[in-house]
Amino acid sequence: MAKETPVAVRDLIVYSVYIRNHTEEGTFRALIPDLDRIKALGTDVVWLMPIHPIGEKGKKGSLGCPYANRDYRTTNPAYGTMEDFRALCDAVHERGMKIMIDVVYNHTSPDATLVTEHPEFYYRKPDGSFGNKTADWTDVIDLDYDNRALWDYQIESLKQWASMVDGFRCDVASLVPTGFWCAARAAVKEVNPDCLWLAESVHASFVAFNRSTGNYAASDAELYEAFDIEYEYDIREIFDEYTEGKRPLKDWLEALNRQEIAYPANYSKLRCLENHDMPRAAKLFPERERLVNHTAMLYFMKGTTLLYGGQEYANSHLPSLFEKDVFSRETGCDLSSYLTRLGRIKKTVLEADDCFRAVEENGAAVCTRVNPRSGKTKLGVFCLAGKPAEVTVDLADGTYENVLGGTVTVAGGKLSTAFPVILAY
């Protein structure tokens, strides 16, 4: 793992912005007036989904996918100029937040500038034509990292952006050699010593699929050599099967517990209920009781917290990647103050170096965070089924303050609740 990664990255709250669909204008400058609201949610890092020009050849939808990148070193003209982008960076920094951009280094669009300038940078199919190793990614072609000159080009691109931004979210990082990421991190450190590195590590089944077909795919453990934060996709499929009713809650909680011993002590996972590739949380949990309990547990879990633009309004519609599709602010369910409160708890009650454990009881997740340094314990009870539950707690009978608001009573070693409970003692 990147040895210098501080456990404090677990305190961070990242807010993901798709420039095209965040405002009606869909530009860098149009985002600036919304930054104060985003900051008020507790946001530390604004992550911009890809900001580069989008390929036309083979594009999906009428506007194309931002992950089909045409040029690594310029901005999408639909979003604005480089001057506009710098103005956005300055506005983010003025508010005490960091800005992270998405880099897509596994592939480009078929009409990318590199196709003409450096065709030798690309993977070739057996017949010698450009292509990719994942059949359904029809709008992109893969790069070939056996060519070390590609490493130099990509690293120089990163250094260019690192002079303006504070970090990189690296798309399908598992499919790009970990050795490249280590070299990139070392080189970027010369430009920006505090650069934050987030890996989109892939689903466990996708690692297995690629390896079974002879393609490179790094494990999460390998990626921690270069990255500060990784996706939680190593256990996401278990979570998905739980939400679909195919597996019991305890299977997912046990998977969370295994992460505590599978990775280095300073590991951080990106905890999310939704993102641009996954169903909205409000779609998964249409009952408000389930939504607020899952949301509270999202913040209680150890790791970096991700919010996807529109999550604060409990949007159930997942915006299209390929069309203009601005998320609604008029859903009738504004969770902003709730998220702000949870963010405050994350940063003032929970401690970054806590040890985490979770068990299931009566449909509820009973989670503890114990800190070996301070000796403090935090107990979280989350009724993820959206129904009242009685759970066993290791507390004397009495009344306790729920830091989320109100009080709860323990009687006979049991606590009953339908609402999220977080106790600190």
Three-state secondary-structure class, residue 7: helix
- Our CA angle for 70, 306, 382, nearest 5°, is 150
pLDDT bucket at 134, cuts 50 / 70 / 90? confident
Q: Does the pLDDT value for residue 133 go beyond 90? A: no
pLDDT bucket at 1, cuts 50 / 70 / 90? low
Structure tokens at 132: 């990719």
Taking residues 380-400, report their average pLDDT.
97
pLDDT of residue 3: 76
H helix count then E strand count, the chain: 14, 18
Q: Which of 181, 175, 172 is nearest to 50 (CA)?
A: 172
Structure tokens at 369: 């965070």
The 364-370 sheet, strands edge to edge: 355-361, 364-370, 377-382, 421-424
Q: Find the helix or strand (DSSP H, E) in which 113 lies.
A: helix 113-117
pLDDT of residue 52: 98
Indicate the average pLDDT of the chain.
97
**Which one-letter amino acid corresponds to residue 225?**
E
Taking residues 136-164, report their average pLDDT.
96
Q: What are the residues whose beta carbons fall under 8 Å from the beta carbon of 246, sequence distance 6 or more? A: none
Q: What percentage of the chain carries pLDDT values higher than 70?
A: 100
Q: Does the pLDDT value for residue 164 go beyond 90? A: yes
Strands (E), 232-362: 269-271, 304-308, 355-361
pLDDT of residue 348: 98
pLDDT bucket at 409, cuts 50 / 70 / 90? very high
Structure tokens at 230: 């990784």
pLDDT of residue 249: 98
The β-bridge relationship of strands 304-308 and 269-271 is parallel
Q: Does the pLDDT value for residue 259 go beyond 80? A: yes
- List beta partners, residue 391: 415
CA distance 199 to 228: 8
Task: Express each pLDDT in 182-210 by its tens digit.
Answer: 999 999 999 999 999 999 999 999 999 99
Task: Express each pLDDT in 292-342 by its tens digit.
Answer: 999 999 999 999 999 999 999 999 999 999 999 999 999 999 999 999 999
Contact 144, 153 (CB under 8 A): no
Taking residues 280-303, report their average pLDDT.
98
